[in-house]
């Protein structure tokens, strides 16, 4: 079987959040001329309240390893790594076959970014590299490198087996009864996902879609559109949520998990935190900070860190938080 043709036909997109077409990525690595190629399975999901890859490792490790094996057979003279976050490393490293090197990531979220992972494996500080060059051309030790996450390798194997039916895994958490990870069709609406999993609330709520830190805030009236590329949903009971505390948590997470490499992110996030602490959401500096972070941060952490704050503040009046909470 020509797996690259099959991956392209399937339209599978990487499940790390970037949504890059997997077949194209594999084709680039395959086509690159080099003495050696590397494969990295990124098992370092780090957004708060997201356990999707953990669920897959726990329940479908064999399929993930088989997906990596398909890559090893596709790229001649290649070496595979699994890049685990610390707790996953502890739990799964002994279950990995000897031909795959296991590597323990640093605890910070940014160490899971693909070029940070390459830096870490090379023994450097895990901080993002400027792209281009992309890892497919110049990755680990300067060689073409395929980086896919756990879920992507799982579906690569499904495609290899001809059993892929356009599904994805959804991690659903928050103020709901039926928390967990569910495999459903890609491109459902959030409303459908919550209903199909018995998680549609009977109270006022809003949703954070795309991760417990960088996910966007959506009103309950905004959930009917079909979505694709979002594997994490967190449901918040509006009446029981203190939005200032929530924003402090996000800011705290980003401050403690960025790499300090560039000024907009390092200093900007700290200023955002201070303004939120002061409950001064009308401060015009806040908008400037959002703009600078979005436009000038070196990597996606800085650029996307703005989304939860700006979306929550924009929808504040519609959310109708309890009157005790003043903007």
What is the SS3 assignment for 171? strand
Structure tokens at 71: 């890559």
CB atoms within 10 A of CB 261: 17
Contact status, residue 233 vs residue 84, Cβ threshold 8 Å:
no
What is the SS3 assignment for 219? strand
Question: Site residues for ligand SF4, window 267-326 (CB under 6 A)?
Answer: 297-299, 301-302
Which positions from 103 to 122 touch ligand SF4 by CB under 6 A, shown as an x/- string? -------x------------
Q: What is the DSSP string of 227-243?
A: --S--EEEEEEGGG--H
Among 104, 179, 185, 261, which residue interacts with ligand SF4 (rule: CB under 6 A)?
261
Measured distance CA(210)–CA(194) in Å, rounded: 14
Q: Is 128 in the site for ligand SF4 (CB under 6 A)?
A: yes
Contact status, residue 323 vs residue 295, Cβ threshold 8 Å:
no
Nearer to ligand SF4, 120 or 218 (CB): 120
Q: Is 265 in the site for ligand SF4 (CB under 6 A)?
A: yes
40-48, 65-73, 166-174, 259-267 -> range binding ligand SF4 (CB under 6 A):
259-267
Cβ at position 269, least distance to ligand SF4 in Å: 8
Measured distance CA(62)–CA(76) in Å, rounded: 22
Among 136, 145, 258, 311, which residue interacts with ligand SF4 (rule: CB under 6 A)?
258
166-174, 185-193, 241-249, 257-265 -> range binding ligand SF4 (CB under 6 A):
257-265
Place of tokens 């707790």: 87
Cβ at position 102, least distance to ligand SF4 in Å: 25
CA torsion through residues 181, 245, 228, 259, sign: negative
Cβ at position 95, least distance to ligand SF4 in Å: 31
Cβ at position 305, least distance to ligand SF4 in Å: 8
Structure tokens at 51: 């356990």
Secondary structure element (H or E) that encloses residue 138, with its range: none
Task: Give phi and psi for 69, each to the nearest 5.
Answer: -60, -40
Measured distance CA(206)–CA(218) in Å, rounded: 6
Nearer to ligand SF4, 127 or 216 (CB): 127
Nearer to ligand SF4, 96 or 110 (CB): 110
Among 122, 260, 278, 280, which residue interacts with ligand SF4 (rule: CB under 6 A)?
260
Cβ at position 44, least distance to ligand SF4 in Å: 14
Place of tokens 């960025």: 258
Q: Are strands 232-237 and 167-174 parallel, antiparallel or unpaired?
A: parallel
Q: Are strands 180-185 and 37-43 parallel, antiparallel or unpaired?
A: unpaired
Nearer to ligand SF4, 196 or 303 (CB): 303
Cβ at position 254, least distance to ligand SF4 in Å: 8
User: How many residues line the site for ligand SF4 (CB under 6 A)?
Assistant: 15
Cβ at position 268, least distance to ligand SF4 in Å: 9
Nearer to ligand SF4, 171 or 258 (CB): 258
Which chain residues interact with ligand SF4 by CB under 6 A? 110, 127-128, 258-262, 265-266, 297-299, 301-302
């Amino acid at each position: 079987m020509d797996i690259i043709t099959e991956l392209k036909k399937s339209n599978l997109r990487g499940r790390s959040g970037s949504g890059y077409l997997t077949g194209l990525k594999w084709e680039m690595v395959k086509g690159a001329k080099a003495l050696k190629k590397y494969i990295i399975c990124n098992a370092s999901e780090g957004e708060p309240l997201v356990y999707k890859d953990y669920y897959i490792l726990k329940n479908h490790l064999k399929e993930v390893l088989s997906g990596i094996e398909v890559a090893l057979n596709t790229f001649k003279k290649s070496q595979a790594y699994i890049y685990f976050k610390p707790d996953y490393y502890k739990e799964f490293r002994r279950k990995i076959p000897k031909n795959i090197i296991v590597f323990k990531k640093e605890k910070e979220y940014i160490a899971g970014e693909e070029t940070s992972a390459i830096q870490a494996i090379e023994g450097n500080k895990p901080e993002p590299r400027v792209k281009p060059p992309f890892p497919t051309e110049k990755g680990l030790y300067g060689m073409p490198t395929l980086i896919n996450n756990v879920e992507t390798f799982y579906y690569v194997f499904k495609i290899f087996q001809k059993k892929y039916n356009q599904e994805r895994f959804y991690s659903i958490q928050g103020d709901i009864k039926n928390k967990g990870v569910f495999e459903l069709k890609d491109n459902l609406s959030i409303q459908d996902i919550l209903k199909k999993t018995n998680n549609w609330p009977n109270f006022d709520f809003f949703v954070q879609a795309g991760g417990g830190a960088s996910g966007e805030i959506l009103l309950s009236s905004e959930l009917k559109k079909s979505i694709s590329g979002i594997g994490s949903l967190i449901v918040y009971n509006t009446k029981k949520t203190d939005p200032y505390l929530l924003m402090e948590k996000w800011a705290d997470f980003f401050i403690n998990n960025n790499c300090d490499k560039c000024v907009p992110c390092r200093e900007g996030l700290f200023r955002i935190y201070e303004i939120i602490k002061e409950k001064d959401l009308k401060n015009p500096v806040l908008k400037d900070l959002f703009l600078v972070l979005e436009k000038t941060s070196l990597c996606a952490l800085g650029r996307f860190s703005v989304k939860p704050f700006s979306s929550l503040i924009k929808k504040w009046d519609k959310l109708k938080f309890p009157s005790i909470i003043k903007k």
